[in-house]
Amino acid sequence: MSDTETQLTRGQAARLACILEATVRKPGNVHRYADFEDVTYLGFILSATAIEPVIENAAGRKIGEVVLDSVKATRSLVNSNTNLGIAMLLAPLATAKEGESVREGINDRIAASDAGDTEKLYEAIRHARPGGMGTVDVQDLRQKPECTLLEAMTLAAGKDTIARQFTNGFKDIFDTGLTYLGPALKDAALEDAIIQLHLFLMSEIPDTLIARKLGTLESEEAAKRAKGILDAGWPNEKSSRDLCSGFDRWLRERGNQRNPGTTADLVTAVIFLALLNGQIPATDIARMRTDGPFTMPGKKHSTYVDQFRDLIRRTDTKNIELGVEVLLRKMKERQNNDLLSEEDAFRVTYERAKVRIDLA
């Protein structure tokens, strides 16, 4: 971090992490250009604002209290579950006392919980009403808990990745996610690096929200497809972009049933730490472009993209890249629906767009 950059507070880092995670066009999740029927992009932005003061003042507090206050603050603005998993991951990190190492003290903070702390967490879960939840076999969420937070999370760890973090010292966040993000940030633009992190985490840790809704075979299939995109050369190879677009469509085929929400929560926690330690300077967020074509190859601008861009420049539109994205999507639709070659789909799309522009 340079001398000119400001150290973020934990509340600021939490809000920016939530905004950044929600804005990036990660396959299968809500983002700037994709809502679900029951939750929208703006819902996530409001939720990011809601939890900032809670996380800002979390130092030294009980984990369950912070989760409950985060959910209540969110529910005052948003009538759906947008951040229960995020709150459960950020609370153990943010409750570190001033000057205390976030990681070294995390096991002690979790171990210090009691049944009262667990009761707060269960109340938060009831408030949030997350998807895919059934009756917990041993500790029903509707009953007064008799176990510590660590014991409760141990019971759920086999089926829930977020619960597992409480039992392994947040290993998947620190050792898997944060370690992977560093090199990705050096080699790719910020949005591409976060999508890469999302794909990597999903490939390594099959999403347990998908598993709860549709079964482990479905989550393992999603993990396999995510790995295929990385193996195809994300983000620099055009084939990887095409695969990612197809993966996004597959994830959305059944509404939000294949939504990799647990992976998104993990991504948020990693971004939170990266913002706190300066790995992601806050100033980089404002420079991140999210209006460029998602299907555009990273560093190898295709001939199609360049020709679409030249065509759009003949109009008075102020958002050339969004126009290019629209044409690319139309081209892909024609290729899929009309069984055209990529070249023929481009030619038809280009010529029809040119006619409309010439007549305008």
Helical packing angle, 84-94 and 41-56, nearest 10°? 20
Structure confidence at residue 164 (pLDDT): 98
Coil/strand/helix, residue 34: strand
Structural domain boundaries, residue 314: 303-359
Structure confidence at residue 138 (pLDDT): 38
Q: Does residue 138 contact residue 146 with C-beta atoms inside 8 Å?
A: no
Within this chain, do residues 198 and 328 fall inside the same structural domain, yes or no?
A: no
Residue 1 lies in a domain: no
Within this chain, do residues 280 and 312 fall inside the same structural domain, yes or no?
A: no
pLDDT of the chain along its 360 residues, tens only?
A: 333 456 899 999 999 999 999 999 999 999 988 899 889 999 999 999 999 999 999 999 999 999 999 999 999 999 999 999 999 999 999 999 988 888 989 999 999 999 999 999 999 998 888 766 554 443 467 788 889 999 999 999 999 999 999 999 999 999 999 999 999 999 888 999 999 999 999 999 999 999 999 999 999 999 999 999 999 999 888 889 889 989 999 999 888 899 999 999 999 999 999 999 999 998 888 878 766 556 544 433 457 777 888 898 888 877 777 788 788 888 878 877 788 887 888 899 999 999 988 887
Q: What is the DSSP letter of 143?
A: S
Residue 106 lies in a domain: yes
End-of-domain residue from the set 254, 286, 318: 286
One-letter amino acid identity for 43? G
Within this chain, do residues 209 and 325 fall inside the same structural domain, yes or no?
A: no
Structure confidence at residue 133 (pLDDT): 59
Within this chain, do residues 31 and 102 fall inside the same structural domain, yes or no?
A: yes
Measure the CA dihedral 324/329/330/334, to 10°. Answer: 140
Residue 332 lies in a domain: yes
Within this chain, do residues 260 and 344 fall inside the same structural domain, yes or no?
A: no
End-of-domain residue from the set 224, 252, 286: 286
Within this chain, do residues 264 and 143 fall inside the same structural domain, yes or no?
A: yes
Within this chain, do residues 228 and 344 fall inside the same structural domain, yes or no?
A: no
Coil/strand/helix, residue 164: helix
Residue 297 lies in a domain: no
Helical packing angle, 179-187 and 261-276, nearest 10°? 80
Within this chain, do residues 340 and 278 fall inside the same structural domain, yes or no?
A: no
Structure confidence at residue 325 (pLDDT): 78
Residue 4 lies in a domain: no
Within this chain, do residues 146 and 261 fall inside the same structural domain, yes or no?
A: yes
Q: Give pTM, 2 decimals.
A: 0.81
Within this chain, do residues 56 and 138 fall inside the same structural domain, yes or no?
A: yes
Domains: count for the chain: 2
Residue 293 lies in a domain: no
Within this chain, do residues 103 and 138 fall inside the same structural domain, yes or no?
A: yes
Within this chain, do residues 210 and 339 fall inside the same structural domain, yes or no?
A: no
End-of-domain residue from the set 253, 286, 319: 286
CATH number at residue 99: 1.10.4200.10
Residue 258 lies in a domain: yes
